[in-house]
């Protein structure tokens, strides 16, 4: 093990021992949220140390084989070492790459549940239908991953499209799984409303936010304006005879969130507050990221929602992610929620980008 790697190993082992001590501290044990955070970090460091040990073993085996080939007079042993060398080289390279990924700084938000917002963009009614298709795609993906999906607010059209929909994915790691979906998604297809068969281009925007708790965001209740009104459905018709719909406005930032899906005003307010908290923290996060130089920003994880990130071409059955230049010809399965290959490619690209920038510990 190299001197630098050995030093990192010792430092991480000391941190792991420190976390183990904290996990037995009565004060920590009585704080469920802090205990959960420390537990996640403890588990992550265990994986890193395990990766270091595996890499050290593979490197030692490789160096031992090289030593035998260079200096041993036992021809049978040398022949055996040469036969093993190719496999040992491949193993050492594999373990080294795995360790590089483990050493990339971890974003704690990746462990959180997610809040996802889909809005129809350019393209009229076809854009709302595409937004509904995206929602269905993510719903199928969530079902496959075992994420609990809850609609927080939605606005449907008469034809079954969605002007907008906001939903939560309640599962540990949901934000980490979905974080690269934020941006403008473009679709090219013949709309069901098009009689001449012409291909139209429409778009929908997706925002992915980590879910936060109220204690994590500084929120002055005096800065929050609450309005109640009657819910309405597609076409503007009333769907509730009481003022159960809730609109929250955060006066300092101008962020507006409204919810009308529940018949209970209290439930609507609770859902709206969940989205509001996530948006306030996301705004603060964006402001922090603006302080970084362009060089330090990853092409994949920039989070610029005005950027076109992906095109769904139905006539050719392909999906192209423009950030990494990846094209898949499996649109039917993709729209059924089988988006894992794309998400994994984006994760790998993001990791490689951060490695190039030298952001290893």
Query: Which domains are seen in the chain, by residue range?
Result: 3-103 (1.20.58), 112-354 (3.30.70.1660)
Residue 11 pLDDT > 60, yes or no? Answer: yes
Mean pLDDT is highest, among 85-94, 240-249, 344-353, for: 85-94
Q: Strand runs (DSSP E) across 21-179, as ranges?
A: 114-120, 148-156, 162-170
Binned at pLDDT 50, 70 and 90, residue 326 comes out as: very high
Q: Would you call 320 exposed, middle or buried from its count of C-beta atoms within 10 A (0-12, 13-18, 19+)?
A: middle
Q: Sort residue 159 into left (φ over 0), alpha (ψ -120 to 50) or beta.
A: alpha
CA atoms of 304 and 192, how far apart (whole Å): 31
Place of tokens 């920039």: 302
Interval 44-57: pLDDT, tens: 889 889 998 999 89
Interval 139-184: pLDDT, tens: 999 999 999 999 998 999 998 999 999 999 999 889 999 999 999 9
CA atoms of 133 and 162, how far apart (whole Å): 9
Task: Tell me the torsion sign for CA atoms 206, 178, 169, 159.
Answer: positive
Residues 37, 23: contact at Cβ < 8 Å?
A: no
How many Cα atoms are found within 13 Å in the side-chain-facing hemisphere of 114?
A: 24
Residue 215 pLDDT > 70, yes or no? Answer: no
CA atoms of 33 and 155, how far apart (whole Å): 34
Enclosing H/E stretch for 161: none
Residues 159, 90: contact at Cβ < 8 Å?
A: no
């Amino acid at each position: 093990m190299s001197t630098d790697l050995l030093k990192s190993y010792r430092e991480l082992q000391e941190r792991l021992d420190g976390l183990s001590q904290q996990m037995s501290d009565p004060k920590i044990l009585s704080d469920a949220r802090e205990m959960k955070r420390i537990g996640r970090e403890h588990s992550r460091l265990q994986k890193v140390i395990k990766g270091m040990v595996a890499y050290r073993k593979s490197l030692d085996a490789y160096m031992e084989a090289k030593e035998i080939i260079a200096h041993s007079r036992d021809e049978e042993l040398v022949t055996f070492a040469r036969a093993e060398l190719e496999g040992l080289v491949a193993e050492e390279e594999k373990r080294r790459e795995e360790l590089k990924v483990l050493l990339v700084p971890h974003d704690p938000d990746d462990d959180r549940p997610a809040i996802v917002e889909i809005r129809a963009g350019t393209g009229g009614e076809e854009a709302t239908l595409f937004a509904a298709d995206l929602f269905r795609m993510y719903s199928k993906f969530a079902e496959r991953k075992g994420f609990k999906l809850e609609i927080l607010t939605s606005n449907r059209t008469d034809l079954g499209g969605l002007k907008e929909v906001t939903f939560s994915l309640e599962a540990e790691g949901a934000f980490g799984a979905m974080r690269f979906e934020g941006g403008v998604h473009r679709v090219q297809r013949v709309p069901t409303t098009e009689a001449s068969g012409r291909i139209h281009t429409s778009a929908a925007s997706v925002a992915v936010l980590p879910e936060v708790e109220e204690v994590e965001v500084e929120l002055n209740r005096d800065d929050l304006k609450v309005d109640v009104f009657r819910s309405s459905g597609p076409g503007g018709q009333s769907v509730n005879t009481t003022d159960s719909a809730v609109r929250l406005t955060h006066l300092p930032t101008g962020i507006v969130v409204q919810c009308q899906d529940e018949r209970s005003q209290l439930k609507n307010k609770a859902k709206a507050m969940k989205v509001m908290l996530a948006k306030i923290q996301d705004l603060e996060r964006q402001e922090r990221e603006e302080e970084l130089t362009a060089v330090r920003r990853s092409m994949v994880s920039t989070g610029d929602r005005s950027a076109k990130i992906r095109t769904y071409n139905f006539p050719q059955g392909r999906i192209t992610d423009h950030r990494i230049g990846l094209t898949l010809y499996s649109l039917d399965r993709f729209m059924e929620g089988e988006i894992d290959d794309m998400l994994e490619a984006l994760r790998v690209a993001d990791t490689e980008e951060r490695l190039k920038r030298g952001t290893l510990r």
